[in-house]
Amino acid sequence: MNIQEQLRKSIGRLVSDRHFTREALGDIIGVDGSHAGRILNEKGNFTLEHIEKIAEYCGFRAIDVFTYPDFYEKPGPREQEPAEVLLQLRLTKEKKDQVLKLVFGENNIEILNK
């Protein structure tokens, strides 16, 4: 699969997932809707400028347009690893108990307070 085929597949999926019309895609990339449709139907090519405009509109990086939906659906290596988070709060005993109940539930608060 060449780059334009990959772009058509990724952008076609993005258009479908976001419920964009051809006209909406055309507005995003700065062409009329029929031209956007022709590009998606292999009668033209997406330019780097088109990709940048789509990425900006969707809040993605340009590379994410190429790899959509894979980047969006699959967590990256860092996201798969468990994260350790340390949080320190100064609370009154009452507030502390409320926070512990919220985080750990009613049954586990006695264990944590021992």
pTM attached to this predicted model: 0.59
The per-residue pLDDT for 112 is 55
Same domain, 68 and 101: no
Same domain, 20 and 47: yes
Same domain, 34 and 87: no
Which residue from 11, 104, 91 is spatially nearest to 51, judged by alpha carbons? 11
Same domain, 92 and 65: no
Contact by Cβ (8 Å): 62, 73 = no
Residues of the domain holding 87: 83-113
Same domain, 89 and 66: no
Same domain, 55 and 109: no
The per-residue pLDDT for 81 is 57
Determine the angle formed by the axes of helices 22-29 and 3-17, rounding to 10 degrees. Answer: 120
Q: Cis link prior to 75 (omega < 30° from 0)?
A: no
The per-residue pLDDT for 109 is 55
Question: pLDDT of the chain along its 114 residues, tens only?
Answer: 788 888 889 999 999 999 999 999 999 999 999 999 999 998 889 999 999 999 999 998 898 898 888 755 544 454 555 667 677 778 888 888 787 777 767 666 555 555
